[in-house]
Amino acid sequence: MKAQTVPPNTMQRLRRNIGKALHHGDRIWQWLTIGAGIGVALLLLGIGWMLWRDSADARSAFGLGFLAPTADASWNPVLDKFEAWPFIYGTLITSAVALLLAIPISVGIGIFLAELCPSWLRLPLGWMLELLAAIPSVVFGLWGIFVFLPEVVEPLGTFLAGTLGLLPGIGALFAGPIPASGASRLAAALILTIMIVPTISAVTRDVFLAIPRSQREAAYALGATEWETISQVLVPYGLSGVLGAVILGLGRALGETMAVTMVIGNSIGGAVSLLRPGYTMSSIIANEFAEAVSRLHSQALIEIGFLLFIVTLLVNMAARFLVWRVARRTPQEGRA
Amino acid sequence: MGKKMFLVMTGLCTAVLLSACGTAAPATVEVTRSVNQTVVVTPTADPNAAAPLPAGSVQINGAGATFPLPVYSAWTFAYQYVDPSVVINYQGIGSGGGKKAIIDGTVDFAGSDSLLKDEEYTSGKDLQMYPMLAGAVVPIYNIKWAKEIPSGTKLPVMILDRQTLVDIYNAKVVTWNDAKILATNPDLAEYLPGEAITAVHRSDGSGTTEIFTKSLTAFSPEWTAGGASAVEWPVDKAGNGMGGKGNQGVAAAVINTPNSIGYVELSYAVSNGMSYASMVNKAGKIVVASAESMSSAMSDFAGSFSEKLTADIVDAPGALSWPIAGYTYIILHTENMSDCIKAQKLLEFLRWALTDPGAAKQASDLGYSVLPEDVRDTVLGKLGEVTCNGTVLLP
Amino acid sequence: MTNTASSTHFIRARRGYTRRRTANAVMLVLTGLTTALALIPLFWIIGYVVYQGGQYLTPAFFTELPTPPGTEGGGVWNAIQGTILLVILAGLFALPPGLLAAFYAAYYPNTPLGIAVRFSTDVLAGVPSIVIGLFLYALVVVVQGHFSGLAGGIALAILMLPTIIRTTEEMLKLVPPSLREASLALGAPEWKTSLQVVLPAAGNGLITGFLLGLARASGETAPLLFTALGNEWFDFRSLIRSGLESGMNPLEILVRIIEQPVDSLPLTLWKYAQQPYPERIHQAWAAALVLMAFVLAVNIFARLWILFRARRMKG
C-alpha cells in the first residue's frame, strides 16, 4: 500500500536513509491511522448492529405490523402491545410540511446569496444563516414554548382551522381546534422549518456557486433576463444538487429531537390533524426510553431508533450522492 | 412563592422511636445560607459512631418518581448538614424510569409510586419497596372564563364527581360547559366556556399516573384503559390529549394551555398556586385534598399492607377521604448492594427521613402526609433487615 | 458579483419585454425577501433570549448549586462544570481517532478504506443524536451499570467526530504536497512528517474545526438523556477534596469524577423549561443565554479566524 502512494524515488531514499527504529515508528503510525479509519467505518456498523440486536424481541413479537399504517394503532404498555404508526405518521407529516415550507424559502436564499446579492453582503448573510443553524435545539424549544407557540402558532392554527379546516378532504389535516398553548404537530413543523432552512440554503448556495460561469454567459448572450437565466438554465443544471440539499434537510428534520419534543404536545393521537398534539419517532424515544420498564416496551423504542437510523442513513446517502454528482460534473474552471 | 424556611431539627438517634429524639436536645448548630434557608442541625448523637468520613465522600445516586421530588429535594438538601459525608443525587425521571434503573442496577435506590410487578421482582432479584410518604393526586385546571369575573369576587373551586373525571379522560365530556360539569358546579355555570377540554397526562412512565388510573378504574367500569404507570389514553385517540414530562411537566403544560385539565401531586399544585378541583368521593361527600382527607383515606385502608409492604388507597370509602391517593416508595436491593458504606449511609438517610421531626415537617409543609406510626415502624423494621455481604447494616 | 445588466441591454423593444422585466424584478425581490424572512427567527430568538436571560443572570447563577424546586436562589454551577467535563471528555475521545482517520482519508483517498472512512463520516454526521444516545446506553451505561459523564462524553465525541474528520481532511489537502515531500526527502519518517510538519501547517484550520465541533457538542441534549442523566450535586471541588481526604490517588479521583452522572447546561435547560416553578423558568432563560452566547461566540470566532487566515495567505 505504501509503495503505491509514496513516489518510488522517495521510498528508495527513505529506505536508504532511515534506520530500522524509525521505520518501525512508521509502521506504528500506519497501523494507527488504519486502525482509526477502520474504527470510524465500523462505528456506523456497530450502531446499526447494536440497535438491531437489542430490538430482537420486539421485531419477532410484532413483525412488520409494527410499522403498518393503521387508523387505530395501539401503544399500550399495560398490554405490552406496540405499534409505531402514530410516530411514523408524526415524523412524516411534520417533516413533509417543514420541507414544503422550507424548499421555496431555502432555494430563494440560495439563489439570492449565489447570484444576486452584492458580494460584500454574501459573507455576513451566510454567517447569519450558519449561526441560525448553530443555535442549540433546546433553545429553539424554550423560545418555542414561551414565545413562538402562543404568538404565532396558536393564532395561525385558529385561522387555519377556520379556513382550510372547513374544506372537504384536505380539511381533515386542519381540523381544529388547536390547543390554546399552540402545542401541536403544526408547531413542530414550523420549528423544523426554521431549523432546516439554513442547512438547505447553504448547500443550495454552494451548488449554484459551483455552476460554471459559461452557463450563465451563454444564457445572457441569448438575451435572457437574470430570472430566466436562473430558472431555465441554472436551476435545471444544478437540480440534482438542489435535490441533494433538500434531502439533507429532510435528514435533519427526521432526526431532530429536543425542540420537537418540547413543542409537539406529546400525545399518541389517533387524529390526523396538524393542529392536534402528536409525537414523532425521535420524541417518543426521548420521552419514554428512560422509563420503559417492560422489555418489549424498551425494545419497541429501540426498534423505532433502528428505523430512524436506517431511514436517515438512506436519506443521507442519497443526498451525498446527489450533491457529489454535481460537484464531480463541474469542470475545474469554476467561477473563481 | 418567595422565600422558604427550612427548619430541620435533626438527630441521628440510635433509638428508632420519636420519643428518643424528643428528649435529647443538645446544642444546635445553625447554618444560614445566602438563599435564606435556615437549617438547624443537631450534631449526631450516636456515641458509637466511627470517625466521620470526609465531607462529600459518599455519593449516592437515586432516580425515579417525580411525585415525591419536591420533598426528596428538600430532604437531600437538608441532609448535607446532617451528615456532610453524604451527597444524595435524586433525579426525577418518572417512576417507570426509577424501576427500570433499579432493575438494571444503574442507580443505588429508586423512587416509585408505581408498584413493581411480579416479573419485575423476579428480574430484579432482591428488590423491596418501602413506603415513605403518602400523597394526594389532584385534578388541576386552567380555564379562560367565559365571562369577566366581577372585581372583588372570587370564583368557587370547581367540584368534580368521580364519573365526570372518568368521562373527561375518556373524551366523553369534551367541553367545559358540559352538563355533567355544570351539575356539580352551579355557581360556575355562567363562567364555564364552551371551549374544548385539553386533557393533560404524563408522557413518561409514572406512578402518579398509576395512582390516577387506578382511581379511574375504581371510579367507573367505563374506564377500560387499565391502571398502570403508562396507559393508552382514550383522550389521546380523540385528539384532545397532551403529554407532559414529570409532575412538573404536567403542571407546566396546564399553566401554558388555557382550558386544560391535568393531574399532579398536591404539592405541585400548592407551590405553584394552581387551581385544583375538589372531588365528590365514594361516600358522596365533597372533599378537598388536604392532610385530613389524606389521613382519612389512609386509615380507611389501615392494615391493608401486603407482605411486600405495598398498599393501594384509591377510592377510599370514608366520608372525609380523598379519593385519589397513594403511597410513594423507595426501592432498594436488600442483599446485593455493592458498596457497604454507601448502603449504610443510604439506610441512615432513609431512617432519618422517616423519623426526624424536621423531615416530617418539611414533608407536611409541602402537602405530603407522613406514614401512620404503625406503618412507619414496620418499614423501619424492614429496613433493619437489609444486609450487605451478609451483615445487617442498621444496628 | 458579476455585472450582468450590460448583457441584457440588447434585447430592448422586444415583445413581452416589459412582462419579462417585471417577472424578473418580482422574482429577484422575492428571493431577497426569503432571505430576510429566514433571518427573522435568528434575531427574534437572540433578542428574546438576551432580554429574558439577561434579567436573571446573577453571580449566584454561575457559582451555586441548585436549591430545591420552588425556592429562590441557587444556580447551575453543577451544569456548568458538567458541560466543561463532558466537552473535555468528548474532545479527548474524538480528537486522536479523528485526526488519525483524517490523515488516512486525506493521503489514501482512493483505497477502499479511504472511501469507507469518508462515506461513514458523511453518513455519521446525519445520524440523529438521540440514536447515538440509545447506542451509548447499551454500550456503556448497561455494561458499566450506571449513568455517567463518561458515557455522555463518548456520546458527544461520536457527534463531534464527523466535524473533526471532515475539517482535518480538508485542511490536510490544502497543505502544499511539496512541504510533505520535502520533509520525507530529508529523511524524516512519515509520522514525524505528519505530526511535526503537515499538522502545524494545517493547524489553524484544525483548531477552528475542532472548536466548531466542540460548540456543536456543547449544545446537544438528546444523547445525554440516557447517558449523563443529570446530577444536582456535581462539583469538582468537593469531589476532589473528599477524594483526597479519603486517601485516593489522583487517578482514582479522576475515575470517580468521570463515573458520576453529570448535568450539562442544555440538559438543565431542558428540565427547567418544562417546570411550573417561575424561578426554574427564569434560570432556564439564563441558561439559554449562557449556552447561546458560548455557541455563537465560538462560531463567530472560528469564522473570523478562517477569514483572516485566508486573507493573509492570499495577500
User: Widest CA span of chain C, in angstroms?
Assistant: 92
How high is the pLDDT of residue A4? 53
How high is the pLDDT of residue A169? 85
Residue A90's pLDDT band (cuts 50, 70, 90): very high
Does residue A308 contact residue A255 with C-beta atoms inside 8 Å? yes
Residue B154's pLDDT band (cuts 50, 70, 90): confident
How high is the pLDDT of residue B18? 34
Q: Is A145 on the interface with B (CB under 8 A)?
A: yes
Q: Is residue C21 part of a domain?
A: no
Is the pLDDT score of A23 beyond 70?
A: no
Residues A157 and A113 in one domain: yes
Q: Is residue A251 part of a domain?
A: yes
Q: What single string gives the DSSP state of each residue in B12-44?
A: --SSSSHHHHHH-----EEEE-TTS-EEEEPPP
Task: Show which subunits contact A, needing at least 3 CB pairs below 8 angstroms.
Answer: B, C
Burial (CB count <10 Å: 0-12, 13-18, 19+), residue B306: exposed
B66: its cell numbers: 417525580
Domain range for C288: 55-314
Residue type, B60: I
B59: its cell numbers: 455519593
Task: Show which subunits contact C, needing at least 3 CB pairs below 8 angstroms.
Answer: A, B
Contact list, B196 vs chain A (CB under 8 Å): 177
Q: Is residue C308 part of a domain?
A: yes
How high is the pLDDT of residue A335? 38
pLDDT digits over A219-276, tens only?
999 988 888 999 899 999 889 889 999 999 999 999 999 999 999 999 887 688 999 9
| Contact yes or no for B204 and A183 at CB 8 A | no
| Contact yes or no for B205 and A293 at CB 8 A | yes
CATH fold of B137-300 reads: D-Maltodextrin-Binding Protein; domain 2 (3.40.190)
B165: its cell numbers: 373525571
Mean pLDDT of C253-270: 93
Is the pLDDT score of A29 beyond 60?
A: yes
pLDDT digits over C122-132, tens only?
899 999 999 99
Strands B286-287 and B278-280, how do they pair? antiparallel
Does residue C218 contact residue C295 with C-beta atoms inside 8 Å? yes
Contact list, C32 vs chain A (CB under 8 Å): 112, 116-117
How high is the pLDDT of residue A21? 52
Contact list, B33 vs chain C (CB under 8 Å): 73
Nearest chain A Cα distance for residue C241, angstroms: 32
pLDDT digits over C25-73, tens only?
998 899 999 999 999 999 999 999 999 999 999 999 999 999 888 788 8
Is the pLDDT score of B14 beyond 80?
A: no
| Contact yes or no for C246 and B57 at CB 8 A | yes
**Omega of the bond leading into A177 within 30 degrees of 0 (cis):** yes
Residues A45 and A81 in one domain: no
CB pairs below 8 Å between A and B: how many? Answer: 120
Phi-psi region of A28 (alpha: psi -120 to 50; beta: other; left: phi over 0): alpha
Does residue B7 contact residue B36 with C-beta atoms inside 8 Å? no
Residue C248 CB neighbour total at 10 angstroms: 17
Does residue C7 contact residue A222 with C-beta atoms inside 8 Å? no
User: How many residues in total does chain A contain?
Assistant: 336
* Lowest-confidence pick of A193-202, B135-144, C303-312: C303-312
| Contact yes or no for A77 and B228 at CB 8 A | yes
How high is the pLDDT of residue B16? 31
| Contact yes or no for B89 and C142 at CB 8 A | no
Nearest chain C Cα distance for residue A169, angstroms: 30
Contact list, B271 vs chain C (CB under 8 Å): 69-70, 277
Contact list, A324 vs chain C (CB under 8 Å): none
CB nearest to C229's CB, from B91, B253, B272: B91
Residue B34's pLDDT band (cuts 50, 70, 90): very low
Domain positions in chain B: 3-41, 58-133+329-392, 137-300
pLDDT digits over B233-288, tens only?
999 988 889 999 889 999 999 999 999 999 999 999 998 999 999 999 999 999 99
Calculate what percentage of chain A has a pLDDT beyond 70. 89
| Contact yes or no for B248 and C241 at CB 8 A | no
**CB-facing half-sphere around the CA of A270: CA atoms within 13 A:** 14
How high is the mean pLDDT of chain A? Answer: 88
Residues A91 and A32 in one domain: no
Contact list, C11 vs chain A (CB under 8 Å): 223
Is the pLDDT score of A299 beyond 80?
A: yes
CB pairs below 8 Å between B and C: how many? Answer: 116
Q: Is residue A59 part of a domain?
A: no
- Give the whole-angstrom CA distance, residue A143 versus residue C265: 16
On whether the B58-133+329-392 domain is CATH 3.40.190.10, my answer is: yes
- Give the whole-angstrom CA distance, residue C39 versus residue B394: 63
Task: Show which subunits contact B, needing at least 3 CB pairs below 8 angstroms.
Answer: A, C
Residues A91 and A4 in one domain: no
Residue A86's pLDDT band (cuts 50, 70, 90): very high
Burial (CB count <10 Å: 0-12, 13-18, 19+), residue B384: middle
Is the pLDDT score of C7 beyond 50?
A: no
How high is the pLDDT of residue B287? 95
Highest averaged pLDDT of the listed ranges A229-238, B385-394, C12-21 = A229-238
B226's CB contacts (< 8 A; 6+ apart) are: A78, A79, B213, B217
| Contact yes or no for C23 and A145 at CB 8 A | no
| Contact yes or no for A312 and C126 at CB 8 A | yes
Mean pLDDT of A85-113: 95
CB nearest to B89's CB, from C70, C232, C276: C232
Q: Is residue C80 part of a domain?
A: yes
Mean pLDDT of A103-111: 94
| Contact yes or no for C101 and A134 at CB 8 A | no
Is the pLDDT score of B300 beyond 50?
A: yes
Q: Identify the DSSP state of A292.
A: -
- Give the whole-angstrom CA distance, residue A49 versus residue C139: 11
Q: Edge-to-edge strands of the sheet including B278-280? A: B159-161, B278-280, B286-287
Is the pLDDT score of A326 beyond 80?
A: no
How high is the pLDDT of residue A277? 92
Q: Is A25 on the interface with B (CB under 8 A)?
A: no
Query: Whose grid coordinates read 445487617?
Result: B392
Q: Is A288 on the interface with B (CB under 8 A)?
A: yes
How high is the mean pLDDT of chain C? Answer: 88
Residue B122's pLDDT band (cuts 50, 70, 90): confident
| Contact yes or no for A287 and B243 at CB 8 A | yes
C302's CB contacts (< 8 A; 6+ apart) are: C208, C211, C212, C215
How high is the pLDDT of residue C56? 93
Angle, helices C250-259 vs C77-107, to 10°: value is: 100
User: Widest CA span of chain B, in angstroms?
Assistant: 69
CB nearest to B35's CB, from C73, C231, C277: C73
How many domains in chain A?
2
Say which CATH number the domain at C77 has. Answer: 1.10.3720.10
Q: Considering only alpha carbons, which residue of chain B is nearest residue A291?
A: B97
Residues A84 and A176 in one domain: yes
pLDDT digits over B169-198, tens only?
999 999 999 999 999 999 999 999 999 999
Residues A10 and A119 in one domain: no
Nearest chain A Cα distance for residue C310, angstroms: 13
Contact list, B238 vs chain A (CB under 8 Å): 269-271
- Give the whole-angstrom CA distance, residue C147 versus residue A127: 37
Q: Is residue C22 part of a domain?
A: no
**CB-facing half-sphere around the CA of B118: CA atoms within 13 A:** 0
Is the pLDDT score of B25 beyond 50?
A: no
Residue C202's pLDDT band (cuts 50, 70, 90): confident
| Contact yes or no for A177 and B196 at CB 8 A | yes
- Give the whole-angstrom CA distance, residue C81 versus residue C268: 12
Q: What single string gives the DSSP state of each residue in A43-82?
A: HHHHHHHHHHHTTHHHHHHHGGGGTS--TT--EETTTTEE
Helix or strand holding residue B286 (H, E): strand B286-287
Instruction: Give CB contacts under 8 A, 24+ apart, made by C138-141.
Output: C138/A50, C138/A54, C138/A302, C139/A50, C140/C227, C141/B106, C141/C226, C141/C227
pLDDT digits over C133-186, tens only?
999 999 998 888 888 999 999 999 999 999 999 989 888 888 888 998 999 888
Shared fold status for B58-133+329-392 and B137-300: yes
Q: Is A75 on the interface with B (CB under 8 A)?
A: yes
Residues A26 and A89 in one domain: no
How many domains in chain C?
1
Domain range for A195: 64-335
pLDDT digits over A129-176, tens only?
999 999 999 999 999 999 999 999 999 999 999 999 998 888 889 988
Query: Whose grid coordinates read 501547517?
Result: C201
Complex ipTM: 0.91
| Contact yes or no for A277 and B260 at CB 8 A | no
Is the pLDDT score of B216 beyond 50?
A: yes
Residues A157 and A270 in one domain: yes
Is the pLDDT score of A214 beyond 60?
A: yes
Contact list, B231 vs chain A (CB under 8 Å): 76-78
CB nearest to B245's CB, from C235, C261, C274: C274
CB nearest to A273's CB, from B203, B236, B239: B239
Nearest chain B Cα distance for residue A258, angstroms: 13
Q: Identify the DSSP state of C224.
A: G
pLDDT digits over B304-342, tens only?
888 889 999 999 999 999 999 999 999 999 887 778 888
B279: its cell numbers: 372531588
